[in-house]
Amino acid sequence: MAARRSNLLFFATVLALLAPLLALDIENLERLKANLHEIINLHSDEPHADENRENMHQGRANDPQQIQHRSFPKDCSEIPAGNPSGIYVIQPTGLHPIVVYCEMNATDGGWTVIQRNQQSTEITWAESWSTYKYGFGNVHTEYWLGTEYIHQISKQKVYQVRFVILDATNNTKFADYNLFSLEDESHGYRLRLGSYSGLAGDAMTTNSASTVHDNMKFSAKDLDQDTYSGNCASSYGGGWWYSACYSVRLNVKGSITWGSLCNGNCKASAILIKPASYC
């Protein structure tokens, strides 16, 4: 009987400790196949960037009550320097918390990863508009964060974007644009990019009207907003900012394309955003 009481007490204690975590309304936790125990800033002792120094010793960040009431960064640029890359909770203005992969090592870190894909992906990418809107995949491997979330993040500040391409010979190339934003859903999540720099080639903004992606609305298999007489998303793969039709195709199974760098045989891709830096 004493052993049974001890076990019941143990499980009650565990549930009490987990309750604040379970109460967290992380919208995309299941959609991106994340687990609470692997979210770095739920179990870190690091104070949040906007917490005052005098609060650093008032409680550990992994204390259940601290977790329940703490504030989360608006994007990965607000994760304190020195933290590892991995899965974090962020809370863009006006949204419930969401999980995302933060790249903390490349180019001063602080990048919010909004897309990752690889040639051997198990994801078909041939999803509906509503699925693209709120995201899908696996935050550990390949995923799309969600066009609505990307829009909400990008309207908080002035953002830049980095497209990371692993070409057919396993060389990593970057395409950077000094401005990045998505218009809201009523405007088709239209993509707006700034000036290009990098070694991957400008495949997003300087192509002909039939293959340009800048200033294009987002299209999915069940919502055609491209400039082609047919449906590019239905004909050529997953949702994207198609024109008529593409020079870049990253949301696709097995045929990742970036301009003349690799035509259907790119090994992997990622799209990263963070607030733009100005001198």
| DSSP character string of 211-231 | T--TTPPPBBTTB--SSSSS-
Q: What does the pLDDT average to over 81-85?
A: 95
> What gap in Å lies between CA 25 and CA 29, rounded to an integer?
9
Q: In the 8-state DSSP scheme, what is residue 132?
A: H
Which residue has better confidence, 156 or 208? 156
Percent of the chain having pLDDT more than 90? 77
Q: Choose among 115, 100, 129: nearest CA to 252.
A: 115
The residue among 102, 114, 87 whose CA lies nearest residue 33 is: 87
Strands (E), 91-158: 98-103, 111-118, 136-137, 143-144
pLDDT digits (tens, 9 = 90+) for 220-229: 999 999 999 9
| pLDDT surpasses 70 at 63 | no
Contacts (Cβ under 8 Å, ≥6 apart) of 211? 243, 244, 245, 246, 247
Note the pLDDT tens digit of each residue in 167-190: 999 999 999 999 999 999 999 999
Q: For 221-273, what is each residue's pLDDT tens digit?
A: 999 999 999 999 999 989 999 999 999 999 999 999 999 999 999 999 999 99
- Give the distance from CA 158 to its chain's centroid: 17
* Higher-pLDDT residue of 116, 56: 116
